[in-house]
Amino acid sequence: MTVKPEHLKILSVDTNINAVVIKVSMIVAVFSGLSFVATTSSDEKYARSFLKPMIERIKHILIIRDIYLGLLIMPKNEVLLPFEEEKSTKKEVGKV
């Protein structure tokens, strides 16, 4: 009680956050993470209902990210067409 609390220093900048609070929060986070891993690995029903949709969502996000990054490096004069329009454009070119 008589000791002044040690404040956290990040990149040589003093913060108003008490270092003890951060350390305790990190310990609680580690234990909750371990509990989460133990629950998901031992309870198959919970893992299916929670992890599978989450993994599918992450796959979807990564696919969208890949498409977006591909568009960033695409030449400026190239235009993307929806798949159906692309088919009709190819047919029209073949007719001419």
DSSP 74: S
Which residues make Cβ contacts (< 8 Å) with residue 33, sequence separation at least 6?
none
What stretch of H or E contains 17? strand 13-18
What percent of the chain has a predicted confidence (pLDDT) above 90? Answer: 18
Q: Which of 20-24, 60-64, 74-78, 91-95 has the lowest average pLDDT?
A: 91-95
pLDDT at 52 over 80: yes
The model's pLDDT over 53-71, given as tens digits with 9 standing for 90+, comes to 888 999 999 999 988 888 7
The CA distance from 17 to 3, in Å, is 16
Q: How many CA atoms lie within 13 A of 39 on its CB side?
A: 10
pLDDT the model gives residue 13: 74
